[in-house]
């Protein structure tokens, strides 16, 4: 409990709420919905967030985690945080139906080739606290707190793909957003949407032939067991937004808001290191436990996909309008500044 009362006031038995004093933070539990299972990047983030919140509020705040599956499907998690049934959640590829502007993170080839640089750009005050970005969430009863890249998106396939021609007709599962479907159509593939928890059986039954995940997810969801190739094109990172319910966030005291902000800033480097480590270790697990083939595209091969991805930026602007266009331009400017 955080009490700071003046000696005189304490002697008089009076509570003082003035300059230099703070009220105790009430004991409270925050429910945090995850799109991923225990052991994932989101889980590690949420667990550390909970530990730091608990420490920095002297035990007043407890964070309760709900890994993927406990609250239903992915969109059930977003509904729960929008309605205030839970206070916190991660949202990524399926969030496009709720926050269309969040599909910005689904665009391919818009960030740099360096993961740490991208993490810093996305969590800069300039981006994370940009009015358009914040409003895109707040207009949907949400409040964005941090942007969390979780590693390169890697294609799990039954055959090697090095060129858009190789992708021709491949039934690839994407997360549920139009930007991703348009991107994979542009690459020549045949995209289809499916819930995260249904991918394994979809692959096993041949309903889909490929899916796109960071390495850690290919491993922990066992997708690699039913795929023959992992193709590294470094076309995009998997990016999730850590968000709270808007009214809940607005109701926090300034002191708590400051503590939350301090924790998310401290977690930027922490979670970057964790995701790099998890993705590296899990690739070792995959290659030790299977004879899956790894394919890495050359710069020239990547360029063919990059060119095909460019018109999808116009689709993004068409879909989300001026606010989306300003956000896309902001991101491109920040990337350019880092590349200079
Ligand atoms: O592909 C998906 O649906 C899920 N993949 C990851 C790595 N996290 C959450 C997301 O919904």
**What is the DSSP code string of 22-52?**
BPPPPPEEEEEE-SS-TTSHHHHHHHHHHHH
Return the CATH fold of 5-150+238-279: D-Maltodextrin-Binding Protein; domain 2 (3.40.190)
pLDDT at residue 151, rounded to an integer: 98
- Whether 182 lines ligand 1, by a CB cut-off of 6 Å, is no
Q: Ligand 1, residues 94, 97, 150, 217: which to mutate, most atoms within 8 A of Cβ? A: 217
What's this model's pTM, rounded to 2 decimal places? 0.93
Give the residue range(s) of CATH 3.40.190.170 domains in the chain: 5-150+238-279, 154-236+290-316
Residue written as token pair 């090697």: 160
Burial 158-191 (b: 16+ CB within 10 A, else e): eeebbebebbeebbbbbbbbbbbbbbbebbbbbb
Q: Quick one: which atom of ligand 1 is closest to the CA of 196?
A: 3
Percent of the chain with pLDDT over 70: 94
Residue 176 Cβ inside 6 Å of ligand 1? The answer reads no
**CATH code given to domain 154-236+290-316:** 3.40.190.170
Ligand 1 center to residue 213 CA distance, Å? 7
Does the beta carbon of 213 sit less than 6 angstroms from any atom of ligand 1?
yes
- Rounding to the nearest 10 degrees, give the CA dihedral for residues 135, 137, 142, 144: -90
Q: How does pLDDT run across 135-174, given as a tens digit for each residue? A: 999 999 999 999 999 999 999 999 999 999 999 999 999 9
Q: Give yes or no for residue 258 having a pLDDT over 80.
A: yes
pLDDT digits (tens, 9 = 90+) for 179-192: 999 999 999 999 99
Tell me how far CA of residue 152 lies from CA of 69, 73, 115, 320, in angstroms.
Answer: 24, 23, 8, 25
Burial class (CB in 10 A: 0-12, 13-18, 19+), 232: middle
pLDDT digits (tens, 9 = 90+) for 301-337: 999 999 999 999 999 999 999 999 999 999 999 999 9
């Amino acid at each position: 409990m955080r009490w700071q009362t003046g000696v005189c006031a304490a002697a008089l038995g009076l509570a003082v709420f003035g300059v230099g004093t703070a009220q105790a933070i009430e004991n409270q539990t925050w429910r945090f919905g995850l799109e991923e299972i225990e052991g994932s990047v989101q889980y590690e983030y949420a667990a550390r967030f909970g530990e730091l919140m608990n420490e920095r509020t002297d035990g007043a705040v407890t964070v309760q985690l709900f890994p993927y599956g406990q609250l239903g499907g992915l969109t059930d998690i977003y509904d729960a945080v929008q309605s205030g049934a839970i206070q916190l959640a991660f949202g990524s590829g399926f969030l496009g139906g709720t926050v269309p502007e969040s599909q910005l993170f689904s665009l391919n080839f818009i960030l740099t080739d360096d993961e740490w640089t991208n993490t810093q750009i996305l969590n800069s005050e300039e981006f994370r606290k940009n009015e358009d970005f914040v409003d895109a969430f707040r207009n949907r009863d949400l409040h964005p707190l941090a942007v969390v890249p979780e590693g390169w998106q890697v294609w799990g396939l039954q055959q090697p793909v090095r060129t858009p021609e190789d992708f021709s007709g491949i039934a690839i599962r994407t997360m549920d957003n139009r930007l991703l479907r348009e991107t994979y159509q542009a690459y020549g593939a045949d995209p289809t949407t499916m819930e995260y928890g249904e991918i394994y059986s979809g692959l096993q039954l041949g309903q889909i032939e490929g899916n796109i995940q960071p390495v850690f997810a290919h491993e922990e969801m066992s997708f690699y067991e039913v795929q023959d190739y992992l193709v590294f094109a470094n076309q995009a990172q998997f990016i999730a937004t850590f968000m709270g319910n808007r009214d809940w966030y607005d109701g926090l005291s300034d002191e708590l808001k400051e503590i939350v902000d301090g924790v998310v800033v401290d977690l930027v480097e922490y979670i970057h290191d964790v995701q790099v480590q998890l993705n590296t270790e899990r690739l070792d697990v995959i290659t030790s436990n299977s004879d899956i083939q790894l394919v890495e595209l050359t710069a020239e091969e990547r360029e063919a996909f990059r060119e095909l991805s460019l018109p999808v930026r116009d689709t993004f602007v068409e879909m989300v309008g001026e606010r989306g266009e300003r956000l896309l331009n902001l991101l491109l400017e920040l990337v350019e500044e880092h590349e200079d």
